[in-house]
Amino acid sequence: MPSEHNSRLWVERTPEGFVFDVKALRLFTSHQTPPAALPGDIRKTLGSSDNRNIYYRDVPEDAREELWRRFRLSLDPLRQAGKLGVVVFQFPPWFVFRRTNLGHILECAEKLNGFPIAVEFRNKTWLGERHRDEVLAFERENALAHVVVDEPQGFASSIPAVWDATIREVAIVRLHGRNREAWVKKGLTAAERFNYLYGEAELREFVTPSRPLALVRRASMCFSITAIATMSSGMPPICGAGSTNEPGCGMNSGKSDNLRVCMREKKKINARAIGAIYTARYSLDSWIQII
């Protein structure tokens, strides 16, 4: 969980116009969570247990409420500074389409009332033909931003790329790569699973389906973990303008594991997930015109 202190530092150390999309705490999204990942006082409420992981339902209600309270507080510096994009709820592959899970999504939205929320699914039951229209309608009715995903297809965890904007404020596109061999292979690190080079021809495939997203006020393009791409040198700066590190890069960091890209030369995008997702932001119109 990000701390309020760190959020203030993010505000201070990023240029004006830089926006963070923050991933929700994994416990909130029904992922298995090591107790050590929780604050010490919260761990004490769990009692003695030999379980290596816990789930949302395992945490007492009072402790859950306290975690939500702290999470909201940790986001406040970003929101007050106008640097909070959306809170991304990425649900796990075992989070299938069912009424109780729709209810959990609504609970998450209620706990973060007033915060912009985006939803990413990792199970094909949500966006297959049977439930796709109902899920998109659910997102629209509850002002939840739909996350468009490009990833390997043909697995239970594969989500088809549904290029739809469910709210007018923001559109989120996450490019996870197309590394089929590594997608469901056990024992790999995230860096190995998402290691993929998008070629220019593959990027051009996004032109036509992405056009509807150009109607939203703000678009985010995120290359996950080590999914990388080579692009034409004429593309606009992906993370803004005016970095002290590289021409055309708005990320004020010299570390190669953060999002760094200079579009005045042909370079690779290399993004590492570090809790807050450093997101590529620019006009979808520009993206379409260039590729």
Q: What range defines the domain where residue 142 resides?
A: 17-31+84-290
Q: How many CB atoms lie within 10 A of CB 143?
A: 13
Number of domains present in the structure of the chain: 1
Residue 224, pLDDT score: 53
Q: Tokens at residue 147, please?
A: 């996350």
Instruction: Report yes or no on 194 lying in a domain.
Output: yes
Are the C-beta atoms of 251 and 242 separated by less than 8 Å?
Answer: no
Asked if the structure places residue 182 within a domain, the reply is: yes
Quote the tokens at residue 116: 């912009």
Phi, psi of 100 (to 5 degrees): -65, -35
Dihedral angle computed from the Cα positions of residues 84, 11, 250 and 221, in that order, rounded to the nearest 10 degrees: -20
Q: Is residue 230 part of a domain?
A: yes
pLDDT (0 to 100) of residue 198: 84
For the residues of 252-288, what is the DSSP string, one character each?
Answer: ----TTS----TTS--B-----BSEEE-EE--HHHHH
| Kind of pairing between the strands at 20-23 and 276-278 | antiparallel
**Sequential pLDDT tens for the chain (291 residues):** 778 999 999 999 999 888 888 999 999 999 999 998 899 999 888 887 778 899 999 999 999 999 999 999 999 999 999 999 999 999 999 999 999 999 999 999 999 999 999 999 999 999 999 999 999 999 999 999 999 999 999 888 889 999 999 999 988 998 888 999 898 888 888 888 888 888 888 888 988 898 888 888 877 766 654 444 333 333 333 333 333 333 222 222 223 222 222 222 223 333 332 233 333 333 444 444 433
CA nearest to 169, candidates 186, 146, 200: 146
Residue 40 maps to a domain: no
Q: What is the pLDDT of residue 68?
A: 97
Does the residue 284 lie in any domain?
Answer: yes
Rounded to 10 degrees, what is the CA torsion of 167, 157, 208, 288? 70
What is the distance, to the nearest Å, from the Cα of residue 185 to the centroid of all Cα atoms in its chain?
A: 22
Classify residue 67: in a domain, yes or no: no
Within a domain: residue 52?
A: no
Question: Measured between alpha carbons, how far is residue 164 from residues 250, 252, 260 in Å?
Answer: 28, 32, 28
CB 21 within 8 A of CB 85: yes
| Residue 254: predicted pLDDT | 29
3-state DSSP: the chain helix, strand, coil percent, rounded to 5? 35, 15, 50
pTM (2 d.p.): 0.77
CA 107 from chain centre, in angstroms, equals: 19
pLDDT at 83: 93
Return the pLDDT at 1: 77
- What is the model's pLDDT at position 263? 26
CATH number reported for the structural domain that contains residue 103 in this entry:
3.20.20
Residue 107 domain-assigned (yes or no): yes
